[in-house]
Structure 1
């Protein structure tokens, strides 16, 4: 093994230890003994002249130098993977790890099946599937692809829009109790189950474009009965009649079809949200990432209530 490849091996071992938070777990992933993984970490720290990981009896944590090194290690190892793939036979099977972070509800209900089908078609790819709604530190998380609903707060990433989500105000029929709701102002004294961080207590609504009526935007100050950052809890609150809620059509279409929920203001919609894919710049993309990204784009475009872009 050449010295340059040996250095990449040390960096890859360190990155796996950082991701797993355990030398023994990383060693199992890499097919090494725990002692061998520990020696590789110590060798890397010796070569760099800094401590990368603080070790205690029960846990590991990255030092400041370790956090900086982790970001660089991922760039270098992923760059090597991309270089190997560039000169590989196009017909050869794709291999390697692929870590994906996706939103909880969308990932659980629609994207997980697609990810599993991709892995089944490409068994040489080991997928790490993480569901998380909040913002992440891309470099520290070590993911290859971040599927996020809404804007991506990281200027270092390439962002590709995959679909536009239609959002509407829904409620249980019992909440309205026969009340006629025609305009956003009619919501003023009706309880609201608000989803953070998108609306909280202030809900912008846009009137759909129709003949004879101009496009118009207003803001409704919701009478908050519940605030949650979990979209499943928001839907449950709406179904139980606790309050109306702004929900994506892809999540509530079955409830609308069955009459469990109703579209409260058919002529008005909350601003749509973009489903974005975020990843590192093209020079570090691997073939497995490109193929998986295309697979996700096709999956999202086929979801009811999502407009392709």
Structure 2
């Protein structure tokens, strides 16, 4: 019988199998034969005394015990990496994998550019850039960092605010041609391109003095995609509530106008969420600082003290 492998190797193989959803795919990633990867999974199950996965010729899925083990395995592996880094040479280059979940628009534009610059500066770091707007289950996704706009619904994570986003009401010039728009009430009969989940039938605003007002929106388009909402505004189909950073160039070239310059929608916070400090790596800390600088440079973003 072959010599038993160390625990971390078994956990690493198990995590890769779980992430790939197939033993064969994980084996290719790890440079192993399929039989070897399968034996490692079986050995881990034997050591733990539980079945971690259900596998047939055509299907692979984790058991409930496997899902629990996956979260623990990721924590143990990240904790080990953090321990190694703490005792390594401070001048050593950054290396390893970083998985980031970021909002679609931010992740494609400003933060996407920042991620590319970070990876170029640290070529030994493998950045996995996963874009999605919806909520995630941090442990199950297996990410190192979650960039979230708005409240982070996971009290087990450390949350670092990166900046607050100014949001204004924009429209194509032709939509408001000949209209006097001075108060939110003046928008009552204009169509709205509403971005959910932030806006719906009622849009709450405040003026420079904090005086509140609300619009009962005449929603012509409701979408969960900010690109679609902006396109609707650009084509004159309705006004939209947009973050300044996302429409800065259109405001400059006049394709969109700030139709109520003295009124703003509630600010939203860009948050960075990650596991507690004992499991942070140098590369994660460096990436968070890098993204923080990128957020601070975005138009209409106010930095937040850490």
Aligned to 1:286: 281
Residue 238 of structure 1: how far off its partner (Å): 0.6
**In the TM superposition, what are the counterparts of 1:20-99 in structure 2 within 5 Å?**
20-99=20-99
Residue 34 of structure 1: how far off its partner (Å): 2.0
Go from structure 1 to structure 2 and tell me whether the alpha carbon gap of 1:264 and 1:59 turns closer, same or farther (over 3 Å shift): farther
Greater mean deviation of Cα atoms: 293-302 or 45-54: 45-54
What are the superposed Cα offsets for residues 155-214 of structure 1, whole Å, 9 maximum, x if unpaired?
Answer: 0000000011110010111111321111011111110110000112221101113xxxxx
Partner SS state of residue 108, structure 2: helix
Aligned to 2:243: 248
1:305 aligns with 2:300: yes
For structure 1, which runs of at least 5 residues remain unmatched after alignment? 210-214
* TM-score (normalised: structure 2): 0.95
Aligned to 1:270: 265
What are the superposed Cα offsets for residues 97-151 of structure 1, whole Å, 9 maximum, x if unpaired?
Answer: 1100111001101111211221121121111110111110000000000011111
Alpha-carbon distance between aligned partners in 1 of 2:132 and 2:82, rounded to the nearest angstrom? 27
Go from structure 1 to structure 2 and tell me whether the alpha carbon gap of 1:202 and 1:60 turns closer, same or farther (over 3 Å shift): farther
Alpha-carbon distance between aligned partners in 2 of 1:263 and 1:38, rounded to the nearest angstrom? 60
Aligned to 1:134: 134
Greater mean deviation of Cα atoms: 38-47 or 146-155: 38-47
Residue 306 of structure 1: how far off its partner (Å): 1.2
The number of residues matched between the two structures is: 302
Q: CA RMSD in A?
A: 1.4
What are the superposed Cα offsets for residues 47-106 of structure 1, whole Å, 9 maximum, x if unpaired?
Answer: 112221222444422211111111100111100000000100001112211100111001
* TM-score (normalised: structure 1): 0.94
Aligned to 1:158: 158
Alpha-carbon distance between aligned partners in 2 of 1:249 and 1:277, rounded to the nearest angstrom? 20
Alpha-carbon distance between aligned partners in 2 of 1:64 and 1:37, rounded to the nearest angstrom? 21
Go from structure 1 to structure 2 and tell me whether the alpha carbon gap of 1:277 and 1:55 turns closer, same or farther (over 3 Å shift): same
Alpha-carbon distance between aligned partners in 2 of 1:219 and 1:58, rounded to the nearest angstrom? 55
Partner SS state of residue 179, structure 1: coil
